[in-house]
Amino acid sequence: MLIKFWGVRGSIPTPQIENLWYGGNTPCIEIRSDNGNLLIIDCGSGLRLLGRHLAAERGSRPLEADILLSHYHWDHIQGLPFFVPLYSQINRFHFHALESKETDLRQVLEGQMQTPYFPVEMRSLPAKCRFSSIGETSFSLKDFKVTTKLLNHPQGCLAFRIESGGRTLVYASDNEPGDKKGDHNVREIARGADMLIYDAQFTPEQLTKEKKGWGHSSWEEGVRICEEVGAKQMVLYHHDPDRADNLVDEILQMALKKFSVAQAAREGMEIKI
């Protein structure tokens, strides 16, 4: 699998000079299987850049992709209105997202593009879209096997275990430690993974004080998970919007002292596993 990061920041886009190295766009990850199949995780503002890239790459050829949404908070869906491939009738997308008794997947995604929030309604876009709500489950998408588990985050969030070509990637963003089920789930889904992409928005100190209950984690918890379940690599993700590049560097250095195979996610970064 080839993984490329298009958005790595949490909560809100931060287009400011002190964030240029790691990037200011919100969550979006592209995954290509060895056979070239495309899987997209989350649709933050980084999705706009991915869309431009895909449009240039495909030209007049049709594009087909599966899209996994971990949850519906704005920083994970706000790129959709600006995803250029949605504006072409030759393209097909299948959205898979957290099931909810209170919300309908299609209605949620269309809602942010309704009057008065956006001038073009999603249902009027030419691309053909399908919508599937999912809970804790396992299913196949072409040559990807996807397993999901619930994390501890306000209003719910899914972690994804992606298996393809004999390799395993785990995406566990937006998770707060300290919840018995959430702690169990993230360890179960990350067990033996070749790579764990993990929420490191806050510091360990913040989690015990002013950020407790906000639904996010730290580099220290990521290290702890990797060591306990034998995950081979860790990528720190969902950087705080108020954490400039030099402060992300400091967090990465602390993580490296305890887990030598750690990286901090950066826009444009590519990793092959």
pLDDT, tens only, 167-176: 999 999 999 9
Alpha-carbon distance of 156 to 270, in angstroms, equals 29
Task: Identify the three-state secondary structure at position 198.
Answer: strand
Rg (CA), the chain: 18
In this model, does residue 102 exceed pLDDT 80? Answer: no
pLDDT, tens only, 243-262: 999 999 999 999 999 999 99
pTM: 0.97
CA proximity to 43, closest of 24, 22, 71, 16: 71
In this model, does residue 128 exceed pLDDT 90? Answer: yes
Alpha-carbon distance of 16 to 8, in angstroms, equals 14
Backbone angles phi, psi at 50, to 5 degrees: -60, -40
105-113 mean pLDDT:
90
Tell me the HSE value of 19 on the side-chain side, using a 13 A CA sphere. 22
With a CB cutoff of 8 Å and minimum separation 6, the contacts of 79 are 7, 25, 26, 28, 43, 44, 45, 46, 47, 48, 51
First to last CA, the chain: 5
Domains of the chain: 2-272 (3.60.15.10)
pLDDT, tens only, 147-195: 999 999 999 999 999 999 999 999 999 999 999 999 999 999 999 999 9
